[in-house]
Structure 1
Amino acid sequence: METDTFAPAYELPSWPFESPPELGGSAIRRHPIVIVGAGLAGLTLACDLAQRGVRAVLLDEDDTVGVRGASSRGICYAQKSLEIFERLGLYRRVADKGITWSFGRTFSGETEVYSFNLQTGSVSAQPPFINLQQFYIEWFLVDRILELGLTDVRWKNRATHVEPLADGVRLEIETPAGAYTMETDYLIDATGASSPIRTQLGLEAHASRSTDRWCISDVRFKKPLPVERWTWVDAPFNDGRAVWQHLMADGVWRIDYQMPEDCDTRQISRPEVAGARLREQLGPDVEFEFVWIGPYGYRDHLLERFRHGRLFFIGDSAHVVSPFGARGGNTGIQDAGNLGWKLALVLQGHAGDALLDTYDAERRAAAVQNLEVTSRSARFLAPRSPAEHRLRRAVVALAARHPFARALVNTGRMSVANDYPAAPHLPEGGRSVQNLPLRRADGTATTLMQLLAEGTQCLGLWFAPSPEQARAALDTLAARPLRLLAVGGDGTLPTLQADETLSRQLGAGAPGSFVLVRPDAYRAAVLANATPAAIATTLRTALAREGDRP
């Protein structure tokens, strides 16, 4: 019997417990924002708020990141999430540590059915995907939060009870040094799929659990494999079941093997069993060491509403999808990117409460779409009936010869930025704008995300406005959360050089046209012939302040 070795376990960082100021006092302190849960979504939101100059309290019952003993969890970070990290000031660290990729191959048996390149059509300064173990992302977020210095991060603080109030939320907290009570204007639940807050409030999540079973092997090979995403729909070395193969940081490969539904999860996770699978796949002489082995099943759920008064649910506390296509952690990061600027503008007095309702309208719609996409992937990978099996065999057979069928091979539609449906605050619907490289009038380089990182404001991109219109707009819109930039023009406004790619991305470019881009890099509106009054009305609409006076 082969004896397979394990690499030394990852050493996760830890941070000290510090006694909260509420302990020992009788007065209940009130904070503008409290976030419960220091996972991907909670940390991204705390970092986003701090970047915008907004103070928050972040509570977590642990004193570290990740999950002790588990290396992988989430590993694929999509372009929209990477663009958020660029704005937050940690993208470079993510890119330097992670594995950038855009190319993937899909196999049926030993035949390559098709390949894809996600870079095709991308104009962002960030790549389509970077693979990196989740705990590194969380680690980098904590470091950035501490660097920004506006967040009160409280480790070993467990929220045991929440009480919604008319104007906020009251929390009871347990710590190693005792219990205390605090209040907040807004509470954000980022405690994950098993949210105790959601459970305590009795909110129905409409959960369902799949019988599909998988086993992860995180492996370091002596001889590296191609830096590509390889997927087998029906791998001959895995009894005709699916397999994924990804490279992560530290030279570690994550290989996911689909298992029989009635498998013994302890048995399939034993090193000698996992090692036999690897040798079946890569040959009897392959040299490797394990980093981690673990079985998993998956579930999904979706809250009916993501906002309940002054309480918001983000990330897995609001929605869970199957892992196919990396739509879990990325969706949580993008929840935070959506909610952060809205909370900031409300707290800074630039927007009313109605703007916070748009978080639910937009991000729940995104979660519904992601649930539909991942559910279809799950059915393709684990057919539930003879008819579904026949359909999959037919699709795979046709895909090798006919391009139309390749779009039907569904091994996980990779995560993309969701479009938002039309609504009163978004009459045309919302579409994400990629992080375009841009140039100022003097030739210096910038990007869309760098422009959005400078304060919490919308960008107004005005194509060649007349000097009279530009001066009038500066007077009319001076106190609004709007940064006006001309694209071309005479220099009355700060000016960007005209660019064909920018015009294509924004869907505008004729002289006088205007595009409003929100602080989360979503296009809010396009005006064909802008005037200062029309721009002011468009901004009020995007900020859900239609009842305000011009």
Structure 2
Amino acid sequence: MNKIFETPLYPYTHHPDEDAETPVRHKTIVVGAGPVGLAVAIDLAQQGVPVVVLDENDKVSFGSRAICFSKRTLEIADRLGIGQKLVDRGVVWNLGKVFKGDEKVYEFNLLPEQGHKRPAFINLQQYYFEDDLVARVRELQEQGAPIELRGGCKVTEIDDCGDYVALEIETPDDTYDIEAEWLIACDGAGSPIRSMMGLDFVGRVFEDNFLIADVIMHADFPTERWFWFDPPFNPGQSALLHKQPDGVWRIDLQLGWDIDKAEEKKPENVIPRLKQMLGEDAKFELEWVSIYTFQCRRMEKFRHGRVLFAGDAAHQVSPFGARGANSGIQDAENLAWKLALVLEDKAPDSLLDSYSDERVHGADENILNSTRSTDFITPKSQISRTFRDAALALAGKAEFARPLVNSGRLSVPCAYDGSTLNGPDTDALPARTRVGAPAVDTPLGQGWLLDRLGGRFQLLTVDADAPDRLDVGGIEVERVAVSAAGNETLRERYLGDAASGVYLLRPDQHVAARWTSFDETAVRAAVAKATGRDK
């Protein structure tokens, strides 16, 4: 068993806040030291925003949990300072295969084009992701960044007092009170903060259960995503196989609805199921076993006064499609820059309403795709099953039918089409880098475009003139000048048939506005709109 589960990374220590005569107020408090909570805290700290992270635990999560991290998540991780660590630790993959019974129906490549720094996906146990995030927190602390990580601190009461949030914290020593100008709840699907505030999810719970088993074994399976419909080792159901580092393999087996979860999790019942799949002589060790039920649900809104919800605390989707953790990391990158501007008095706090609006849009997109995946994987009627099986049969012969097969459409970056923050757009430039979409990476000589973008407002000019800097109401906009001469990838992604292009980029690398040439009045108006100051 991996000893990382047993190692306290941020053990409880008595803090001076506990002895204060009156509650100490902090700029920002994050509750939950999982991937989303740590990501938003690191992003804030890198922008100079003081942040305290509280968690009742003091170590990484037990079990692999989330394992598939998308290219967009890796690009965000680059900005947070851990992208290369994740790739070095993870298992890189782009290829997936779909089976019906024991016959391969087809295969697919999730990143068929060249010119990206990061792969389509890596597989990496969530505990390693958290370990790298905690290590990054320690690096930032050594550099003097204003970030604290407090373990053994459980939030037991919360009160939104209008211009601050009051919390009661339980520790191994005692309880104490603390205050936050803003509270970010990243405390998971069962969010105690959500419950304390009397809030709930809306959405669907699907009548099906799946067994997750992470097994340690030596196997010759390739580094690919394998998905089976009606496999011989789990007839009438589905199965999934993924490779992780350290000889750990993720196996998902559909079990059906009417089961005894406690019984199904017992090793004496799990092991025979796995031997049916892997063979009677297979040698393996169970690392982690769980039963989950498909759920596609979210809060109605992610901002409630001074409390902001992110990650699983705000939304849940079924695991097929790798949308949970990847969506949560996108929550973090959307929220951090907006909160930083509000705390610096460079934007009104109504800007945080756009966090809820944009990420509710992202959650709805994930829920729609996850629901479609679930309905395809677990048909609820004979007609649905007949359609599903016909689509599979046709997909093996005709490429046009393959998009009909839905074994879990995998996570893609969210484009904020229709956002109130979006400025002018033009059809003269390519659709993939439209307003609202995240910037697309491209090689630049010896480097990469996305390594030069993010963390602040920027003006990306492609073969266009513009000032090196603009000050827009205290927000500095920095120019990043590139040329498409001799760079067909850059031309295809950012110019198309246009001779030049000017892109206003938000701090989260999403396109806020774009033009074919520079216009200072238009850029200033677009910055005001992107920061909620155009009201």
TM-score range, shorter chain: over 0.9
Structure 2 residue 113 is the aligned partner of structure 1 residue 117? no
Q: In structure 2, what is the equivalent of residue 493 of structure 1?
A: none
Distance in 2 (CA, whole Å) between partners of 1:104 and 1:501 is 25
Contact 1:13 1:139 in 2 (8 A): no
**2:441 paired residue among 428, 431, 435:** 435
- Residue 507 of structure 1, CA deviation: 4.7
Counterpart secondary structure, 2:61: coil
Equivalent of 1:270 in 266, 270, 279: 266
Asked if the contact 2:472/2:527 (under 8 Å) is kept, the reply is no
- Judged with a 3 Å threshold, the aligned counterparts in structure 2 of structure 1 residues 16 and 476 are, in CA distance, closer, same or farther, namely closer
Aligned to 1:19: 14
Amino acid at match of 1:483: E
Q: Note the 1:3-152 alignment, pairs <5 A.
A: 7=1, 11-14=5-8, 15-67=10-62, 71-121=63-113, 123-149=115-141, 150-152=146-148
Give the total of aligned pairs.
520
Unmatched 5+ stretches in structure 1: 1-6, 440-444, 489-495
SS of match in other structure, 1:87 = helix
Partners of 1:109 and 1:240 within 8 A in 2: no
Structure 2 unaligned residues grouped into runs of 5+: 426-434
Q: Structure 2: how far apart are the matches of 1:478 and 1:426?
A: 18
- C-alpha RMSD of the superposition: 2.1
Deviation at 1:8, TM superposition (A): 6.1
Asked whether the equivalents of residues 508 and 515 of structure 1 are also in contact (C-alpha less than 8 Å), the reply is no
Which of 154, 167, 172 is the matching residue for 1:171?
A: 167
* Alpha carbons of structure 1 residues 186 and 507: separation in structure 2 relative to 1, 3 Å: farther
Deviation at 1:315, TM superposition (A): 0.5
TM-score under structure 2 length normalisation: 0.92
2:179 alignment counterpart = 183
8 Å Cα contact 1:432/1:523 also seen in 2:
yes
Choose which of 482, 493, 505 in structure 1 pairs with 2:477.
482
Helix, strand or coil for the counterpart of 1:237?
coil
For residue 20 of structure 2, what is the amino acid of its counterpart?
Answer: G
Conserved in 2, the CA contact under 8 Å of 1:477 and 1:532?
Answer: no
Q: 1:236 to 1:345 in 2, by over 3 A?
A: same
Query: Are 2:324 and 1:325 equivalent residues in the alignment?
Result: no
Look up the SS of the partner of 1:298 in the other structure. strand
Match of 1:218 in 2: 214
What amino acid is aligned across from residue 343 of structure 1 in structure 2? L
1:107 partner SS: strand
Shift in CA distance, 9/33, structure 1 to aligned 2, threshold 3 Å: closer
Q: Normalising by structure 1, what TM-score?
A: 0.90
**Per-residue deviation at 1:542?**
1.6
User: How big is the shift at 1:206?
Assistant: 1.8
CA distance in 1, matches of 2:206, 2:397: 32
Is 1:508–1:514's contact at 8 Å kept on the other side of the alignment? no
Is the Cα–Cα contact under 8 Å of residues 470 and 476 in structure 2 kept in the other structure? no
Q: Which of 324, 327, 332 is residue 336 of structure 1 equivalent to? A: 332
Shift of 1:518: 1.3
Q: How does 1:340-489 map to 2 (within 5 A)?
A: 340-427=336-423, 428=425, 429-439=435-445, 445-452=446-453, 456-466=455-465, 470=467, 474=469, 479-488=474-483
Change (3 A) 1:113 1:362: same
CA–CA separation in structure 1 for the residues paired with 2:284 and 2:410:
29
Please report how far the alpha carbon of residue 500 of structure 1 lies from its aligned counterpart in structure 2 after TM superposition.
Answer: 2.9
Asked if residue 525 in structure 1 is aligned to residue 525 in structure 2, the reply is no
How many Å separate the matches in 2 of 1:350 and 1:452?
21
Provide closer, same or farther for how the CA distance between residues 34 and 215 of structure 1 changes in structure 2, counting only shifts above 3 A: same
Change (3 A) 1:341 1:323: same
Deviation per residue, 1:311-367 (Å, 9 max, x gap)? 101001111111110001111111001101111222233322232221111100000
CA deviation vs aligned residue, 1:111-169 (integer Å, no higher than 9, x gap)? 11110011213632111100011111111111101210121111111111111122121
Distance (whole Å) between structure 1 residues aligned to residue 2 and residue 32 of structure 2: 28
Q: Distance in 1 between matches of 2:102 and 2:517?
A: 57
Cross-structure match for 1:513:
501
SS at match of 2:407: coil
Alpha-carbon distance in structure 2 between the residues aligned to 1:533 and 1:480: 15
2:16 partner amino acid: P
Q: Deviations over 1:415-438 (max 9, x none)?
A: 010111213321455101233332
Please give the alpha-carbon distance, in whole angstroms, between the structure 1 residues aligned to 2:453 and 2:322.
Answer: 26
* Preserved contact between residue 28 and residue 50 of structure 2 (Cα < 8 Å): yes
Preserved contact between residue 207 and residue 302 of structure 1 (Cα < 8 Å): yes
Instruction: Give SS of 2:459's match.
Output: strand
Deviation at 1:405, TM superposition (A): 1.5
In the TM superposition, what whole-angstrom CA distance separates every residue of 1:151-209 from its partner, at most 9, and x where no partner exists? 11111111111111221211111111221112111111111111111112112312543
Once the two structures are TM-superposed, the CA of residue 477 in structure 1 deviates from its matched residue by: 5.5
1:479 Cα offset (Å): 4.8
TM superposition shift of 1:22: 1.8
